[in-house]
Amino acid sequence: ISADGRIIDVLELEINEATLTGESEPIKKVTGVLSEEIGLADRTNMAYAGTNVVNGRGKMVVTATGSRTEIGQIARLVQETGETHTPLERELGKLSHALGVVVIVLSLILIAVGLLRSNLYTPLDIFQTAVAVAVAAIPEGLAISLTVILAVGMQFILKRRALVRKLLAAETLGSVSVICTDKTGTLTEGIMSVVRIVTATGELNRSELAQMHTGQDLQKQDALLALRIGALCNNVTLRKSTDEHGARYAGDTTEVALAEAAHSAGFEKEVLDHETARLFEVPFDSRRKFMATLHQVDHKTVVYIKGAFDILFERTTHFEKNGEQLKLTNVDKDWFVEQEKSLTSQGLRVLALCHKPLPHSQTSIQETDIIDLTLVGLIALSDPIRSDVLETIKRAQGAGIRVVMITGDGRDTASAIGRELGFSGDVLTGAEIQAMDDAALAQSIKHVNIFARVSPEDKIRLVEAYRASGEVVSMTGDGVNDGPALKAADIGVAMGSGTDIAKETADIVLLDDRFSTIVAAVEEGRAIYQNIQKVLIYLLSFSLSEVVLITASIAAGAPLSLLASQILWLNLAQDSLPAIALAFDKGDGENMLEPPRVKGSPILDASMRLMIFSLITITSVLLLILFFSFYHLTQDIDLTRTMTFTALGVSSLVAIFSVRSRRRPLWKSHLFDNKYLLASVLFGIVMLVSAVYLPPLQLLLRTQALGWMHWAIILGFSALNIILIEVVKKSLPLSSSASRVARLS
């Protein structure tokens, strides 16, 4: 349909409006007058641009074209919705500003102290040292390391069947505290399916249906007859190949579900159609609400009927039980009515399946022939919940993530699905959201987990309400109507089977449309953030240790503990490759046992600041002791600098294994599961050894060859450094988020 319009003439017109409203079932259109306050999804006398006719025909008067249509207004909402900065962007900006101020202040202090001691240092030495300290203090490898961490994290997420379209979104996943998920195709399988069959002999659920066969089991005989009727009183066609859902048949979604259920029980529709000739058909229409087909079965003429329970039950006089036709009593009638009410109260669509023998000579049927029917059973259909969804929701809630279902379905269907998913609380509809001001909505979202019949504007308001309350919001969607909300959310997640608009607007695209993939991506996002924290701790701790070491030697009036060239060489050996290699670390299994970090919390939380301060203190104090004591004993400044230079390099390269995990001690960590880290540490050691023993580098860096005793001291120093770091690591709290009260699920 290429324009919006008011329907003025209709004949069995059904329109699929899923891309616009999220409603999973085609909408049957009417010509009547509706209330002005009615929501978009309930305007059954309107047709909209961008939707598809699936049945019937009709006539409409065009009411809007182009940008004035509902889909055009959604495009305008997408344009007007601003991009949001990720938490990592904001926190790195703050960190960069703070580091810049610290570097400038330290450089000025060094220059001032050096000039006051002009008898010990030349102005050139002071200037070179100040520049080298500035280079050391700024972890120039941080930008490269973060880029690699995010890029590698995107690869890990892709292996979990999610495609990250924006680099920084990979990290933001780890911050998600609310997942607003669509129902159809994400929580559910996105296709209609037979989930229950109720006959006089009992009830079969979905798992039992999958195990049915065409044997002689009397308890299943009635159910098999019901499936046979559903397959024969059916107009689906066989596909040349199965679709993305594995469906073998094409046609009306309800009839496809019946044919697929019959196939699982051993009935091939094409074989049944060949063996059981159809003589006549009364097609389904919305007035009579049933379909009937006439067949020759074993030299008998029989009519098979499927349709609405309330319509067919009025025409029923008998029921089938273990292959026998029994008279319906009042008790039997009450029982079947209660079964139908029970199924519909669960949000299931219920069909009655009946049959009736006719004279052998009869070759056609009329509506008046559909009386005195025998009820075989009730078939309940729904878009079933994916098998892994319940477990995944529990896992998300265990990680402190609140899961919210937003659907275009009506209140009753949404409520029934919500109960099946374990959601508690009320259902809030789009009309009710529109009647609320922002303050009332902010209060309502605290206890409502199900939203039904929502419009694109409602979704944006929900996203903004959650973000205003301090949540990091992930919004999923697949239709055109989801575009504005996907853009407004911190993380927009589009379905791979969705519209191009949704995928182009989103930050992440799910290749398999599964809710479990979202949670898996969140887990990888937390691992990415954890790796970023490791890099920050490692780079800042040992870069600032160099600053403290040089500043302390100048303040003490001693020769420079490290030369500018040595500082730059250390940056090459210890800062670049080892930090980048941390990108390939896998996240701790405990990451999904903690709540997400608080929105707006600094990237360097209190625990990290304490750890960085402790590492700087331990490393700097030990190095200063080594420097001053060795210089006092030997009075050889080049040898002392070589010892200090090598000790700092070796200890930092070894300490990276301790920094890898703040949860586990070094001896309980997986030391050899990151081959890139092992290779980078080995490369750093080679760089240090080359600086000590290769003559050209000795000349450039003013180093001296070390003996085995010197190396013993350096290794002892590194071991002591690691022991003290492990002691401090054990005594520090893991993070501020670990002590937070778990949020309501």
Pairing of strands 491-495, 473-477: parallel
Query: Which residues, in sequence order, are CB contacts of 276 under 8 Å at separation 6+?
Result: 232, 295, 296, 297
The catalytically annotated residue of 4, 42, 182, 383 is: 182
DSSP 588: P
Counting every residue written for the chain, the total comes to 745
Q: β-strand 427-429 against 450-452: which pairing, if any?
A: parallel
Would you give the distance in Å from CA 676 to the centre of its chain?
28
Is there a contact between 301 and 279 (Cβ–Cβ < 8 Å)? Answer: yes
Structure tokens belonging to residue 32: 């009547």
Comparing CA positions, the residue from 268, 293, 263 lying closest to residue 278 is: 293
Is residue 348 within 8 Å of 196, Cβ to Cβ?
yes
70 within 8 A of 20, measured Cβ to Cβ:
yes
Question: Coil, helix or strand for 302?
Answer: strand
Residue-wise DSSP of 214-252: SS--HHHHHHHHHHHHHHHS---EE-SS--TT---EES-
d(CA 149, CA 579): 9
Are 599 and 471 within 8 A, CB to CB? Answer: yes
Active site residue 575: no
What number of other Cβ atoms are within 10 A of residue 432's Cβ?
Answer: 19
Q: Can you tell me the distance from the alpha carbon of 650 to that of 163, in angstroms, rounded to the nearest whole number?
A: 39
Residue 404: phi and psi, rounded to 5, are: -125, 135
CA distances from 582 to 278, 529, 650 (A): 68, 11, 17
Among candidates 244, 397, 222, which has minimal Cα distance to 321? 222
Give the separation between CA 436 and CA 640, rounded to whole angstroms.
Answer: 73
Helical segments of 60-185, H only: 70-80, 87-116, 123-137, 141-159, 169-172
Q: Identify any residues that bridge with 308 across adjacent strands, giving them in sequence order.
A: 351
Backbone angles phi, psi at 305, to 5 degrees: -130, 140
- Which two three-digit tokens encode residue 634? 């030997």
Q: How far apart are CA 575 and CA 568, in angstroms?
A: 10
Whole-angstrom CA distances from 563 to 106, 107, 129, 545 are: 17, 15, 7, 14
Residues contacting residue 273 through CB under 8 Å, at least 6 positions apart: 232
**Which two structure tokens, joined as six digits, stand for 690?**
């080359």
Rounded alpha-carbon distances, angstroms, from residue 285 to 232, 276, 282, 363, 375: 18, 24, 9, 21, 21
Which residues have a catalytic role annotated? 182
